Amino acid sequence: METVVKKTRKQQIEEKATKLFRQKGYAATSMRDLAQVLGIEAASLYSHIKSKEEILQKICFRMADEFFDAWKEVEMESGNHAAKMEKAAICYVKVITKNTDASAVFFHEWRHLSEPYLSEFLAMKNDYEGRFIKILRDGMQSGEFHEADEKFMMLTILSSLNWTHNWYKPSGNLSPEEVGSKLANLILNGLKK
């Protein structure tokens, strides 16, 4: 027998807002739009949330926390630097594909955060990017990777992973783990024979 978990009104609001922010963009989504898709009056939204930005904050920081939680798997990887980079790509894709609407909002709408949240978010982003740079730097220092511009390589890797939310379908032929592994292989080995 399947257990059905009833979502709270706040969870329903966040879910609908996430979809709207992805479809229309944060700036173009009004509280009236959100109320309309929920079938309630705009004024009654404020009994559940303080503001539209509160929802954006929750989406962005929840996603950031999920990326950091997933990184624990990367830290446990005991193989070489290529194995660590593959594990990082797999963990990253698993988070992205868990909720592609939230991922799209996370990647594209964080710029609308106000202070102090924007600075906090950027610090988390820099920390996370630094973890990819460390794998690259360690791999270069050990001779496992070619010498290259670390920041450029990190941005290239994350850019290729970040677009997964646009094309990934849970009903597709590849699992998130397979997608992450294939992308990591392409990044690490390229197309050369």
Sign of CA dihedral 24, 161, 11, 169: positive
- Cα separation, 185 vs 179, whole angstroms: 10
Segments making up each domain of the chain, as ranges = 53-190
Q: Which of 168, 169, 145 is nearest to 157 (CA)?
A: 145
Amino acid at residue number 31: M
Question: In the numeric block, which tokens belong to residue 13?
Answer: 């609001």
- Cα separation, 102 vs 107, whole angstroms: 9
**Which band of pLDDT confidence, cut at 50, 70 and 90, is reported for residue 7?**
confident
Q: How much is the pTM? A: 0.91
Domain spanning 53-190: CATH 1.10.357.10: yes
What is the per-residue pLDDT for 193?
65
What is the per-residue pLDDT for 148?
93
Say if CB 35 and CB 55 are below 8 A apart: no
pLDDT in tens, 130-167: 999 999 999 999 999 999 999 999 999 999 999 999 99
- Cα separation, 193 vs 185, whole angstroms: 13
Q: Is 75 exposed, middle or buried (0-12, 13-18, 19+ CB in 10 A)?
A: exposed
High-pLDDT (> 90) share of the chain, %: 84
